[in-house]
DNA sequence: GTCTATAATTTGATAGAC
DNA sequence: GTCTATCAAATTATAGAC
């Protein structure tokens, strides 16, 4: 059986998606080119087109792969073994380690900010990502429901996404920590 | 005296900046081209280069102009005539009307998300924007200081920036309203 | 300030051989 | 599945006339 870690590269298609994601998270959809990807992967740009005919296909695949990885990383939102606070801490941890380990912010934050210029299939994939993450967070907040819970899923996701942008742009990770602490403080 | 409204266009340079900002807010730094701007303004691309030799010059100028306009729009953060809540409401209102009127999110949110791929002068201008807005918000929160105030400037700015991305990507402005309400609820 | 003209490079994409 | 070869279009940028 192959390595099932998220760093596993079982084929060229997977390598392409990994390289494309890194560039998209750094500079947006237009920051990736077929030639750059091909060079990094060690093939030619025509071969990248074989796996993903149009750039929109590549973009949508990158987002879908990213979505599955994030959802897997945050785990079950309704496991009664952990408290609401533990679940939200896990969500925060996923984003924190992404920033620290890769030095990159959320893919769908970068792409979501340029939604108006995205090919439809990519914009739809980004929208689906947020719908899933919002649903996860709603469930995490409500099972079991905390006593005087007033924080909403939208508030938590908004805070985390914005905090990544703020920390990246000002080169100050403290803003992320500060925001994360505020989220946890408001729970329970 | 010329019209001093933010819609005033006193010269070609100003027109160029206005068109460039609109495109950058929709799709990021790479979404603007000298040719597209020139066509919209009614001149040729070489003439755009006369006003802004390099694309980095254009980008930095767009961000600086945007920064000045936002700071002017939110007004004084330390006017004792209004409460902390009124000042933060004004900040929220600036972003809300930008989304509703123009259908665009904050320029520095879009550019901040792609900081790693931005020319240095542009990245620095974006960083300065956030530094100024954070300072404004800190002042707005502390003069006069509310009794049990625990919300920080970073939390407020993060929430607002992220809420715009979330609302845009999901086409659901309710997420912005929800987040804005949460911010105001946490004050005083 | 704006133009014409053009250079140099990069881009997404395709056809067809192997 | 990858390659060579190629294309048409778009990009930033400059030189020099008006």
Model pLDDT for residues A151-173, shown as the tens digit of each residue: 999 999 999 999 999 999 999 99
Which class in CATH covers the domain with range A56-185?
mainly alpha
CA pair distance B130, A144, nearest whole angstrom: 38
Cα distances from A182 to residues A14, A89, A139, A145, in angstroms, run 37, 12, 20, 19
- The mean per-residue pLDDT over the stretch B4-29 comes to 85
Enumerate the domain spans of chain A.
56-185
Confidence of residue B6 (pLDDT cuts 50, 70, 90): very low
Q: To the nearest whole percent, how much of chain A has pLDDT over 70?
A: 91
Q: Is there a contact between B156 and B87 (Cβ–Cβ < 8 Å)?
A: no
- Chain A, 121 to 160: residues with Cβ < 8 Å from chain B are 123, 126-127, 130-131, 134, 150-152, 154-155, 157-160
**pTM of the complete model:** 0.95
Which residues, in sequence order, are bridge partners of residue A145? A142
User: Mean pLDDT for chain A?
Assistant: 93
Domain over B12-185 is classified CATH 3.30.1340.10? no
Confidence of residue A3 (pLDDT cuts 50, 70, 90): very low
User: Mean pLDDT for chain B?
Assistant: 93
Which residues, in sequence order, are bridge partners of residue A142? A145
Cα distances from B123 to residues A96, A138, A188, B50, B67, in angstroms, run 22, 35, 39, 23, 13
Interface contact B178, partner A, CB < 8 A = yes
Residue A18 has pLDDT above 60, yes or no: yes
Which chain A residues contact residue B165 at CB under 8 A?
A: 109, 112-113, 158, 161-162, 165
Contact B30 A30 (CB under 8 A): yes
User: What's the pLDDT score for residue A145?
Assistant: 59
pLDDT in tens, A92-136: 999 999 999 999 999 999 999 999 999 999 999 999 999 999 999
User: What's the pLDDT score for residue A188?
Assistant: 75
Contact A158 B159 (CB under 8 A): yes
Q: To the nearest whole percent, how much of chain A has pLDDT over 90?
A: 88
Q: Is there a contact between A71 and A132 (Cβ–Cβ < 8 Å)?
A: yes
CA pair distance A59, A64, nearest whole angstrom: 9
């Amino acid at each position: 059986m192959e390595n099932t870690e998220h760093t596993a590269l079982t084929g060229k298609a997977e390598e392409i998606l990994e390289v494309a994601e890194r560039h998209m998270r750094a500079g947006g959809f237009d920051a990736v080119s077929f030639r750059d990807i091909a060079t990094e992967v060690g093939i030619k740009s025509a071969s990248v087109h074989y796996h993903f005919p149009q750039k929109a296909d590549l973009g949508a695949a990158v987002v879908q792969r990213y979505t599955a990885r994030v959802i897997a990383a945050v785990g079950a939102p309704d496991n009664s073994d952990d408290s609401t606070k533990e679940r939200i801490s896990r969500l925060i941890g996923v984003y924190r380690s992404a920033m620290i380990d890769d030095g990159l912010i959320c893919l769908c934050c970068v792409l979501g900010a340029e939604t108006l210029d995205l090919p439809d299939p990519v914009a739809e994939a980004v929208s689906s990502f947020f719908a899933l993450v919002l649903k996860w967070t709603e469930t995490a907040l409500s099972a079991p429901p905390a006593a005087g819970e007033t924080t909403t899923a939208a508030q938590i996701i908004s805070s985390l996404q914005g905090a990544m942008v703020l920390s990246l742009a000002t080169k100050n990770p403290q803003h992320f920590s500060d925001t994360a602490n505020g989220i946890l403080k408001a729970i329970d």
